[in-house]
Structure 1
Amino acid sequence: MNIHPSPEVFARLAAQGNVVPVYTDLMADFETPVSAYAKLKEAGPSYLLESIEGGERLSRYSFIGCRPRQVLVCGPTTTEIRIPGQPTQTVATPSDPLTLVETEMKGYRPVKIPGLPPFTGGAVGFVGYEYVTRIEPSVPVAAHDELKLPLLYFMFSDSLLIFDRAKQTLRLCVNAHITSDLAAAYASAVAELRALYELLKQPRELAPAPLIDPGPLTIPPGNFSPAQFENTVTAGQEFIRSGDIIQFVPSQRFTRPFAGTPLDLYRALRTVNPSPYMFVLDTGDFAIVGASPEVHVRLTDCRVEIRPIAGTRKRGATPAEDLALEKDLLADEKERAEHLMLVDLARNDIGRVCRYGSTTVPEFMVVERYSHVMHIVSQVEGIIAEGHNAYDLMRATFPAGTVSGAPKIRAMQIIAQSEPSQRGFYAGALGYFGYDGNSDTCIMLRTALLKGGQLHIQSGAGVVADSVPASEYQETISKATALLKAAAIASEF
């Protein structure tokens, strides 16, 4: 293997920081991201992150991580710190558990090497919806917690594979943590690179997966009956009419048995519903698999981005029908009003941590097409203010207005009183905080939890004053359909 940087260059780079990427490049014609992940996923907690840009084009990079240096599992009262080869440490969960990730990451000063991808290591994981009760104590916690998920789960990822579609290369990357013994730090990183290379050389092949038509889908029972959900919509509309809120987003959870693996589900889902954020996060105790259409928030070299989605139509059967549906969507005053409200909410959220006057809307109400639907989308941007970071940005924007409502705090209070169970993964955020201070997270929509032989899907509907309760119930069914179809296909693998 041709390893970069050389020991001599590594020694010079080590004077610039305390985390140095050590890497080797391979031709990417012998693996796909999915086949490579199949070889690495058994090496402890793991993840695969992919993306479709604009709904129709694969983005440049895919990221695969395994063999984390440390795992942080934050429960409501206690937090487990898992380090390979050491006994698990248990500490009290602080009032704001995100500070544990922030404190760990603040100690790292990565060396910048030109030409590296946007993510080369850091904290990868998720923030569950109930985290909001830690940063906004006026929002109550729903009584029932059947899923028993952590509030936060993050793996500190130093060993990863990066597929570059533009160059058709596969980069094996290991972050060397600088100590007083530079030679030992470099040798350790090189040894880990060789271990990743050996994992890739395994003669493990994915079996061909038939892409079947599962036929009519059976909708599993939700944690609301249809009548209960419609009553919740009606009750919420009373809050809207009384002036408490403008909109809220009730949701329901569907559960069905699933005997397949997380990768089985992901393979089917990425085909059925390609999306801007596609992911598998496998902790060993449970797995989260998703194809989310919506960024939660992104920070890239001080630039903040949110891309609210609100307003949906199905795709047309012909180009002419597709264009007619787009015109109908953009002419729908209800859809436009709801979208404008969420754009304003996004501007207000990032404005809390951005430079005064820097918030802009460079794209407003454009239509983005996906495999089954089209959406109205806007781009909201700003420049993060001095003294703030990616963790402050998460706190300022969490959860997204598209999964809560407006005004956000009152809408979340009503949701907590209306839904029968804690949301857990649903409507939380999944992604990464990089060693370089950048971050990229998506909203956990079109996302499934696999735990204990069960598959859990949750979906919501944006309710306003003139919503029809039965239609909002049906919207939750429609949003769950892609995952239910993927589960049906994967069950035949």
Structure 2
Amino acid sequence: MRRVAILTAPWREPVWALAPFRDEPYACALMSGGQGGRWSYLLRAPDKTFSLTAADASDPFAALADLLGAHQPSHPDGPPFQGGVVGLASYELGDRIEALGLARSDWPDLVCALYPALLAFDHHARQVLAVGRGVSESDAEAQARAALAWLDAPTAAHPEPKGPLCPDLAADDPAVYETAVAEVVERILAGEIFQANIARAWTGRLAPGADPFDLFTRLRGQSPAPFAAYLRLPGRAVVSNSPERFLKVGADGAIETKPIKGTRPRDRDPARDLALAAELLASDKDRAENLMIVDLMRNDLARVSPPGSVRAPDLFRIESFANVHHLVSTVTARLAPGRGIADLLRATFPPGSITGAPKVQAMKVIAELEPPRGPYCGSLFWVGHDGALDSSVLIRTVALVEDAGGWRVEARAGAGIVADSDPRAERLETQAKIAAIRRALTESLE
């Protein structure tokens, strides 16, 4: 039985606590944002890691279960996450669940790291908790003290760039995207699918001297999101500003997912902004699109839940973010006895909100119309030793790869296509969704 120790420290902004480790492989920040967000986490120096590429035939879900090991109790006075695994699941991990023959990106299907300690930032109490685990109380306390020392680490000089981080950011041809949308509508009308999420890409390079952490801090300052995250890997980084939860699981096995379907842009005029939110709430098209994904998620969760335990207690709620209004529903369930987090991920990945319905056929259609997605529309998640989980859908996310010329940048935004979708309107929706990332990459600081 491993022990847990918790030490406290005065409040520190979590972004700047991460700054000294910005270039360190497996340094990770999971950030709450917006109203009601309570906990942010900083993790580094994992005990173990694994990275599974398409060429590796290992079972990724078995590898995750092995890395986690047996359930261990959590501290009753601690944060929801008290150490365990952080994982990055690329969209193409889904090909290991349904053999679709998906082309692979140059990203691993699954990367996981096991952390013995973390810093938890309580935004409500304005306090920092250092959490450590060990085979004895003294070992656990030593881990917690080591994590507490991260707050005092010196930060190397790195002037914050004032100009555009990515002055050459370029979007895919709008006409090509509209043609893809029109093709999906035809395939829906022909009865092949009911819905598919089709995305387009923006690509470029970071300016000399800029790095992924600069983008993370800009996004955090300009457009905080409930599932913002920074993950540094060897030669790669993910910067996410996601508003969407994939799956949340309590230590008691209670499951919640909150799929997003339906979008309207925000407006600076308060009256017009309210009218756009009301229009979204009243839209039969958007409600039908949302309900299709709710049904899909209910079906996925039923695979690992006792009969009758899957419910949809909250449908079609408006949630507003810096650039868009979204239509969000909630689905709940419970893990069946003998089922764990690895079983749940195998049953539900990739998230239904970014695939379509029926899920497998929608993924086939997506693969015909898009290059491999990599991290985009995958998930970033944590799993605690007590069996708890929280995870995001990696939308509003930038994938960065380091090469001899610096950092390559790719961001994507998509829209759910249904029978009455208008290609131009769907293209404009992608532009509304990418707006915060585009602004952070291409505009100068005032």
Shift of 1:229: 2.2
Q: Does the CA-based 8 Å contact 2:131-2:143 persist in structure 1?
A: no
2:344 aligned with 1:396, yes or no? no
2:183 aligned with 1:235, yes or no? yes
After superposition, the C-alpha distances for 1:239-272 in whole angstroms (9 at most, x for unaligned) are 1111111111121222111142222111111223
Which residue matches 2:102? Answer: 141
SS of match in other structure, 1:57: coil
Which residue matches 1:412? Answer: 363
Which residue matches 1:119? Answer: 81
Please point out which of 62, 69, 72 is paired with 2:47: 69
Alpha-carbon spacing, 1:219–1:286, altered in 2? closer, same or farther (3 Å): closer
Q: Report the residue type matching 1:149 in the other structure.
A: W
Shift of 1:318: 3.8
Distance in 1 of aligned mates of 2:305 and 2:127: 36
Which residue matches 2:425? Answer: 471
Q: Report the residue type matching 2:382 in the other structure.
A: Y
Distance in 2 of aligned mates of 1:435 and 1:441: 15
2:6 aligned with 1:23, yes or no? yes
Distance in 2 of aligned mates of 1:46 and 1:77: 26
Identity value in percent: 35
Q: Report the residue type matching 1:34 in the other structure.
A: V
SS of match in other structure, 1:289: strand
SS of match in other structure, 2:183: helix
Distance in 2 of aligned mates of 1:457 and 1:68: 28
SS of match in other structure, 2:264: strand
Shift of 1:209: 5.6
Please point out which of 409, 420, 432 is paired with 1:455: 409
Distance in 2 of aligned mates of 1:136 and 1:273: 36
Alpha-carbon spacing, 1:466–1:48, altered in 2? closer, same or farther (3 Å): same
Please point out which of 240, 245, 255 is paired with 2:203: 255
Distance in 2 of aligned mates of 1:278 and 1:226: 28
2:291 aligned with 1:337, yes or no? no
Q: Report the residue type matching 2:194 in the other structure.
A: I
Alpha-carbon spacing, 1:71–1:37, altered in 2? closer, same or farther (3 Å): same
Q: Does the CA-based 8 Å contact 1:125-1:281 persist in structure 2?
A: no
Q: TM-score, normalised by structure 2?
A: 0.92
Shift of 1:129: 0.6
Q: Does the CA-based 8 Å contact 1:362-1:380 persist in structure 2?
A: yes
Which residue matches 1:293? Answer: 243
After superposition, the C-alpha distances for 1:265-315 in whole angstroms (9 at most, x for unaligned) are 111112232211010011132010011111111111211111111111222
Distance in 2 of aligned mates of 1:448 and 1:156: 24
Which residue matches 2:116? Answer: 158
Query: Pairwise CA RMSD of aligned residues?
Result: 2.4
Which residue matches 2:35? Answer: 57
Q: Does the CA-based 8 Å contact 1:161-1:173 persist in structure 2?
A: yes
Distance in 2 of aligned mates of 1:287 and 1:158: 22
Which residue matches 1:46? Answer: 27
Unaligned runs of 5+ in 2: none
After superposition, the C-alpha distances for 1:87-134 in whole angstroms (9 at most, x for unaligned) are xxxxxx31x3221011221x2332332111100111102111111111
Distance in 2 of aligned mates of 1:194 and 1:204: 19
SS of match in other structure, 1:48: strand
Please point out which of 123, 126, 130 is paired with 1:172: 130
Please point out which of 15, 18, 23 is paired with 1:34: 15
2:284 aligned with 1:284, yes or no? no
SS of match in other structure, 1:334: helix
2:220 aligned with 1:270, yes or no? yes
Shift of 1:190: 4.1
Q: Report the residue type matching 1:39 in the other structure.
A: P
Q: Report the residue type matching 1:423 in the other structure.
A: R
Say which one has the larger Rg: 1
After superposition, the C-alpha distances for 1:371-390 in whole angstroms (9 at most, x for unaligned) are 22211111111122112111
Q: Does the CA-based 8 Å contact 2:8-2:128 persist in structure 1?
A: yes
SS of match in other structure, 1:249: strand
Distance in 2 of aligned mates of 1:258 and 1:239: 38
Which residue matches 1:373? Answer: 324
Which residue matches 2:90? Answer: 128
SS of match in other structure, 1:462: strand
Q: TM-score, normalised by structure 1?
A: 0.83
Alpha-carbon spacing, 1:335–1:35, altered in 2? closer, same or farther (3 Å): same
Alpha-carbon spacing, 1:108–1:248, altered in 2? closer, same or farther (3 Å): same
Q: Does the CA-based 8 Å contact 2:24-2:232 persist in structure 1?
A: no
Shift of 1:62: 0.9
Q: Does the CA-based 8 Å contact 1:296-1:443 persist in structure 2?
A: yes
Distance in 2 of aligned mates of 1:305 and 1:487: 33
Unaligned runs of 5+ in 1: 1-16, 79-92
Please point out which of 99, 106, 112 is paired with 2:62: 99
Q: Does the CA-based 8 Å contact 2:119-2:148 persist in structure 1?
A: no
Q: Does the CA-based 8 Å contact 2:197-2:414 persist in structure 1?
A: yes
Q: Does the CA-based 8 Å contact 2:323-2:432 persist in structure 1?
A: no
